[in-house]
Amino acid sequence: IQSKLPGVGTTIFSVMSKLANEYNAINLSQGFPDYACDPKLIDLVTKAMKDGFNQYAPMPGNTALKENIAEKVEHLYQVKYNPETEITVTAGGTQAIFTALATIINPGDEVIIFEPAYDSYAPTIKLLGGIVKTYELTPPNYGIDWDMVKKLFTANTRMIILNSPQNPTGSILSNQDMQALVKLINGTDILILSDEVYEHLIYDGKKHESVMLYPELRERSFIIASFGKLLHATGWKLGYCLAPEKLTAEFRKVHQFNVFSVNSAMQQAIATYIKAPENYTGIANFFQQKRDYFRNLLAESRFKLLPCSGSYFQCASYSDISDESDKDFSVRLLKEFGVAAIPVSAFYQKGTDYKIIRFCFAKENSTLSSAAEKLRHV
């Protein structure tokens, strides 16, 4: 058969995790915690199953969960989303991204993305016949010159994908970025897909600049969230999409034939769990400690650490160690030193290689210290 995604192989996350298992390396590559999620959550899922939440959930999501998401969003951002018409529960962030793009993108439509970027955006756009317009960010700060973004606009520009805090760089968008974006899209009908799955993972007292805080952006945005990050349970594959009523109505038309509805018992459990803000308000502090712990351990290594303001990823340059490509270096690091990381070139479609690799620090401190001990010998 003719491939719909020529040139696309297996995602780097699967590749590196598989290699890490084969070589028994410490896996700081794929982003997931190596510690247990809150046992209270597991009790709540068991309870939901015993209470009979074992058949299809309502198509747009469990009613209590949507209501509690609305409450949580209002508590955090003082913005109201209507649970009936503006919130849809999805099978993780990835499905929400796929569905939002499928809802909007027609063949020939252009979508602007900022690379290095989470690896699902570009293939999804292409699968839908869309055209990816890339703005390449550069280390160490990965900042955006919005005048240059404007140069990418054409009559076919349909959407911009934002991701703050960003995977893989850990950079975040500032209030100035958001103001510049507001100006830029004024007078256009460009929509926004704002991937905010790391909304809670933001450090040093900085504030997450959600697009919902800017009315001119909110009215044209799909906002993507993931319970995998919030609950330290990436395998649950649950998340949601916030969007104004008109966009949500179209989103749900696609969602109902994409998955119809998602895991019923877990939705019920999460509904109860997120009702208590103390179940999620400490998460930034929790991860900031891990970031600082890991960074301090690596301070005496030959890796040069890049800034990390958010997400659970720490990027590091190995240019003082080797001039190998980042892919070769990552494989050698894994096989010879026993630590798996992600080569950041995998997040650029052109494979741009700045000799930087990404470590995930959502790990037990003992895992981080064992990894750092090995990395200090590189």
Please give the residue ranges that form the binding site for ligand GLN (CB under 6 A): 11, 13, 30-31, 167
SS3 at position 234: helix
Eight-state DSSP code of residue 368: H
Residue 201 or 212 having the CB closest to ligand PMP: 201
- Which partner, ligand GLN, ligand PMP, none, binds residue 13 by CB below 5 to 8 Å per kind? ligand GLN
Smallest gap from residue 126 Cβ to ligand GLN (A) = 17
Residue 309 interacts with ligand PMP (CB under 6 A)?
A: no
Element (DSSP H or E) covering residue 292: helix 283-298
* Position of minimal CB gap to ligand GLN: 31
Beta strands in 191-333 (DSSP E): 191-195, 221-226, 239-242, 304-305, 313-317
Residue 124 interacts with ligand PMP (CB under 6 A)?
A: no
Smallest gap from residue 376 Cβ to ligand PMP (A) = 28
Sign of CA dihedral 229, 232, 236, 242: negative
Measured in whole angstroms, how far is the alpha carbon of residue 188 from the centre of its chain? 26
Residue 263 interacts with ligand PMP (CB under 6 A)?
A: no
* CB 224 within 8 Å of CB 251: no
Smallest gap from residue 186 Cβ to ligand PMP (A) = 27
Bridge partners, residue 249, by sequence:
none
> What x-and-dash track marks residues 177-216 binding ligand PMP by CB under 6 A?
------------------x-x-------------------
Bridge partners, residue 256, by sequence:
none
Smallest gap from residue 266 Cβ to ligand PMP (A) = 12
Eight-state DSSP code of residue 59: T
Residue 301 interacts with ligand PMP (CB under 6 A)?
A: no
Residue 163 or 263 having the CB closest to ligand PMP: 163
Give the Cα separation of 278 and 273 in Å (integer). Answer: 10
Residue 119 corresponds to which amino acid? Answer: D
Residue 62 or 167 having the CB closest to ligand GLN: 167
Q: Which of 31, 60, 310, 338 binds ligand PMP (CB under 6 A)?
A: 31
Residue 355 or 358 having the CB closest to ligand PMP: 358
Residue 66 or 237 having the CB closest to ligand PMP: 237
CA-CA distances (angstroms) from residue 99 to 111, 120, 226, 300, 338? 15, 12, 14, 45, 38
- Which partner, ligand GLN, ligand PMP, none, binds residue 228 by CB below 5 to 8 Å per kind? ligand PMP
SS3 at position 301: coil
Residue (of 155, 142, 209, 163) closest to 182 by Cα position: 209
Give the Cα separation of 344 and 317 in Å (integer). Answer: 10
Residue 66 or 237 having the CB closest to ligand GLN: 237
Smallest gap from residue 6 Cβ to ligand PMP (A) = 24
The span of 1-9, 87-95, 278-286, 298-306 binding ligand PMP (CB under 6 A) equals 87-95
Smallest gap from residue 146 Cβ to ligand PMP (A) = 21
Smallest gap from residue 29 Cβ to ligand GLN (A) = 7
Q: Which of 234, 268, 330, 345 binds ligand PMP (CB under 6 A)?
A: 234
The span of 146-154, 226-234, 298-306, 317-325 binding ligand PMP (CB under 6 A) equals 226-234
SS3 at position 170: coil
Give the Cα separation of 165 and 206 in Å (integer). Answer: 11
Q: What is the CA radius of gyration of the chain?
A: 20
* CB 263 within 8 Å of CB 62: no
Residue 150, CA atoms < 13 Å, CB-side half-sphere: 12
Residue 97 or 270 having the CB closest to ligand GLN: 97
Q: By CB under 6 A, name the binding residues for ligand PMP.
A: 31, 92-94, 118, 163, 167, 195, 197, 226, 228, 234, 237, 239
